[in-house]
Structure 1
Amino acid sequence: MIPKDPVMLLSYVNTQLRDFYASFSSMCEDKGLNPEEIKTKLAGIDYEYDRARNQFV
């Protein structure tokens, strides 16, 4: 289960990307997550995925 709070979600996703996954899409596929839902939640707190950094910034 992933956090519902956007700030906690940001921390969780960026940690997963940093420690375990080469890309956001591979993380979502592996965990069975909806990437658009995550992007929308994080856009609500002004974060978007930076492919070059492999982080939401």
Structure 2
Amino acid sequence: MNIPNDPVILLSYINTQLRDFYPNLTDLCLSLNINEESLCAKLETIDYSYDQTTNQFV
């Protein structure tokens, strides 16, 4: 699966996917074949981290 490379666009894409289709980040990553650690690291470059309580990057 091709996901956006730009971190800001990636943030929007991932949060939308989490909101609409996935109960948690692990399920999203497994389904889309994305490395969870790499995804988190990329979004941390723009100061966002995953919040399990809200199921989104904040």
TM band (smaller chain): over 0.9
Report Cα offsets for 1:15-49 as digits up to 9, x if no partner: 00000000000000011100111100100000000
2:32 is matched by which residue type in structure 1?
K
* Paired residues for 1:1-57 under 5 Å: 1-57=2-58
Unaligned runs of 5+ in 2: none
TM-score by length of 1: 0.98
Give, as a single letter, the amino acid of the residue that structure 2 aligns with 1:16.
Q
Q: CA RMSD in A?
A: 0.3
5+ residue gaps, structure 1, are: none
- The TM-score normalised by the length of structure 2 is 0.97
Detail structure 1 runs of 4+ shifted over 6 Å in the superposition: none
Q: Size of the alignment, in residue pairs?
A: 57
